[in-house]
Amino acid sequence: MEAAEAGRRLDAFLAGRFGGISRMRLRQAVAEGDVTVNRVGRTAGWKLRAGDRVQVRLGDVGPTAMTPEDVPVPVLYEDADLAVVEKPAGMVAHPTAHWRAGTLVNALAHHFNREPGAPIIRPGLVHRLDRLTSGLMVVAKSDAVLSRLTVAFHEREVEKRYVALVHGEVPEETGVISAPIGRDADERPRWGVRAGGRHAETRFRVVERFSHATLLEMEPVTGRTNQLRIHAAHIGHPIVGDPEFGRDLAEQNAPLLPTPPARLFLHAAMLSFRHPTSDEGLTFSSPLPFALAEYLTTVREAAKA
């Protein structure tokens, strides 16, 4: 990096160097750890310094990255600036080299542009949910709104709460998990609690206890990749249905629980923020999807037996 570019945000630096690639794609690369500064993953707002070495790895997502697709997605709220949607489990948020179609962005590119002749609206993802996670997401309709919402997330002015069923009995009523999260390309899974990783903090509260599982409300104070899944496994209570994090612990406990649905028991149930244009306070809630609610009933009944 040249000395004249010192002090620039990482996302602005990338946009200047890769003008032929959409800002959304570059932000995705940053969020997924495919952009490093001096071999360390950084946020889009990271301020660069003279002499920093920026490495970028971009897979070819092909021409489908913004192709509109008529895929149904529940929209809870929508105005000229943004939309709040419920992403189903199994849906990828944004096209990648491995998921070229059927994503949330493809679905919203269709939903936002149903009026012929109207200006094209490109869905702007402010945050993401894992493919296996369901629940609430806010999506911007312009770069200006995307920028304001991104700042609000960065400044921790957005409140998010998740519902998770985890293996084992969590003894504390409430707690804070503070463990750094980083990426190591030579490890599997790549993301995990790593020495030298970025600060990551999660608050939790016990909602209900069962014989071999605990229902938690989880609040990510920071927003690291796979944070809730990694932190739950880190304290010895991996999320039910997680095929990647805390697998050994989950396999030991799995015979003690009814067979779960083929998905992760993690749902983004509450989202609260101030509207970036009107400053109106907005709060949204999403009930557990049927498969999770039904499984929770099964676990509850098995615990009483």
Which residue among 113, 128, 155 closes a domain?
Answer: 155
| pLDDT (tens digit per residue) in 172-192 | 999 999 999 998 877 788 898
Is 42 a member of any domain?
yes
Tell me which of 300 and 120 has the higher pLDDT. Answer: 300
DSSP character string of 217-242: EEEESS--TTHHHHHHHHTT-PBTT-
Residues 30 and 15 in one domain: yes
Tokens matching residue 272? 């609260």
pLDDT of residue 100: 74
Which residue among 123, 155, 187 closes a domain?
Answer: 155
**303 pLDDT higher than 90:** no
| pLDDT (tens digit per residue) in 261-282 | 989 999 999 999 999 999 999 9
**Percent of residues, the chain, with pLDDT higher than 90:** 54
CATH (domain of 207): 3.30.2350.10
Residues 124 and 237 in one domain: no
pLDDT of residue 104: 94
Q: Is 230 exposed, middle or buried (0-12, 13-18, 19+ CB in 10 A)?
A: buried
Q: Is the peptide bond before 189 cis (omega within 30 degrees of 0)?
A: yes
pLDDT of residue 206: 98
Residues 168 and 256 in one domain: yes
pLDDT of residue 218: 98
Tokens matching residue 5? 């570019």
- Which residues, other chains included, contact 104 with Cβ-Cβ below 8 Å and sequence gap of 6+? 73, 85, 87, 91, 92, 93, 94, 123, 125, 137, 139
Coil, strand, or helix at residue 142?
coil
pLDDT of residue 64: 44
Residues 148 and 173 in one domain: no
**200 pLDDT higher than 60:** yes
pLDDT of residue 234: 96
pLDDT of residue 245: 93
Residues 88 and 173 in one domain: no
Domain count, the chain: 3
Is 286 a member of any domain?
no
Residues 168 and 300 in one domain: yes
pTM: 0.78
Residues 56/34, Cβ–Cβ less than 8 Å: yes
How many angstroms separate the most distant Cα atoms in the chain?
69
Residues 96 and 151 in one domain: yes
pLDDT of residue 63: 44
Residues 247 and 263 in one domain: yes
Residues 212 and 136 in one domain: no
Residues 165 and 247 in one domain: yes
CATH (domain of 34): 3.10.290.10
**195 pLDDT higher than 60:** yes
Is 82 a member of any domain?
yes
| pLDDT (tens digit per residue) in 16-40 | 676 556 666 777 788 778 888 888 8
- Domain residue limits at 18: 3-56
94-101: which pairs have CB atoms within 8 A and are 24 or more residues apart?
Answer: 94/24, 94/28, 94/65, 94/125, 94/128, 95/61, 95/62, 95/64, 95/65, 96/28, 96/32, 96/59, 96/61, 97/59, 97/60, 97/61, 99/131, 100/61, 100/62, 100/64, 100/65, 101/64, 101/67, 101/69
pLDDT of residue 22: 64
Residues 209 and 109 in one domain: no
As a whole number of angstroms, the distance between CA 290 and CA 287 comes to 9
Tell me which of 303 and 269 has the higher pLDDT. Answer: 269
pLDDT of residue 232: 97
The residues assigned a catalytic role are 130
* Of 53-67, 86-100, 103-117, minimum mean pLDDT range: 53-67
pLDDT of residue 276: 95
**5 pLDDT higher than 80:** no
- Which residues, other chains included, contact 232 with Cβ-Cβ below 8 Å and sequence gap of 6+? 164, 166, 177, 216, 218, 238, 239, 242, 245, 246
pLDDT of residue 61: 45
Is 279 a member of any domain?
no
Residues 135 and 248 in one domain: no
Which residue among 98, 122, 155 closes a domain?
Answer: 155
Is 284 a member of any domain?
no
User: Rounded to whole angstroms, what are the CA distances from 48 to 23, 36, 59, 149, 158?
Assistant: 18, 11, 24, 22, 26
Residues 235-263 have a mean pLDDT of 92
Is 133 a member of any domain?
yes
Is 33 a member of any domain?
yes
Q: What is the mean pLDDT of the chain?
A: 88
Is 188 a member of any domain?
yes
